[in-house]
Amino acid sequence: MTIVFVHGNPESAAIWGPLLDELGRDDTVCLSPPGFGVPVPPGFEATVTGYRDWLVGELAAIGEPVDLVGHDWGGAHVVNVAMARPDLLRSWVSDVVGVFDPDYVWHQLAQAWQTPEVGEKSVAGFTGGTLEQRIQGLTGAGIPASVVTGVAEAMNDEMAQCILALYRSAAQPVMAELGRDLHKAAARPGLSILATEDQAVGSDEIRRRAADRAGARTEVLDGLNHWWMAQDPARAAAVLKDFLR
């Protein structure tokens, strides 16, 4: 059974490296959303629905239901697919189910990106500069040293434009409205990763409530942050192995 990994912002597939090493499987696939480590194809719309439809197409091409694991925006794309096309999945895993809760409020950086002119200036500083400057910034944000260079190398002007388009397409109440269909994700077994030090994806209460609505089991990763899969890959692998069994 194929297990598919989808990363988020401002990342590349490099974030999965330590976890994949721990899993030791030969049936894994990493899919990079357009603009995030791979080029944007002509005509692609970097919106919430655009990325959902992109992922649907990628999964359909695999030809069999998969175990789908997503992080950050990749986790949101996973939930959107679970709600819209559960037939493509055997199971799903996400660490951002809480963003679909009606009480979720976007974090400050996301709100800056959603603001005209402010967002352009903010994202230029976020994705620009030298490689060393980007590495320093990402390290300060909490990305582990084992993956930070691979992430920093993927950051460019094209990613910056996709960040703005994606976050602006997701300004509330868009995510809350999408979350009205969370119950549809229960058509396939789901797992919500709750890393306790992740401050960007809603309170513990919001994340648990959204997971319950999606019919998903919640797994708490105490002491881990937004990049739990690289911070403690052995614990992350153990959680995934247990769920997939």
- Cα gap 225→208, rounded to integer Å: 17
* Residue type, position 168, single letter: R
Positions of E strands within the chain: 3-6, 28-31, 66-70, 89-94, 190-195, 216-221
Q: Is 169 exposed, middle or buried (CB count within 10 Å of its CB: 0-12, 13-18, 19+)?
A: middle
Averaged pLDDT, 189-215: 97
pLDDT band at 88 (very low <50, low <70, confident <90, very high): very high
* Tally of residues, the chain: 245
pTM above 0.85, yes or no: yes
By the 8 A CB rule, do 192 and 94 touch?
A: yes
Q: Is the pLDDT of residue 1 over 90?
A: no
Q: List the structure tokens of 35.
A: 């603009």
Percent pLDDT > 90 in the chain is: 99
By the 8 A CB rule, do 188 and 86 touch?
A: yes
Q: What is the pLDDT of residue 197?
A: 97
Q: What is the pLDDT of residue 142?
A: 94
Q: Is the pLDDT of residue 41 over 90?
A: yes
**Closest to 4 measured CA to CA, from 157, 198, 147, 23:** 23
Q: List the structure tokens of 198.
A: 């992740």
- Cα gap 148→142, rounded to integer Å: 9
Strand partners, 195: 221
Q: Which residues contact 30 (CB under 8 A, 6 or more apart)?
A: 4, 5, 6, 7, 13, 16, 20
Averaged pLDDT, 24-32: 97
Question: Structural domains in the chain?
Answer: 3-103+175-244 (3.40.50.1820)
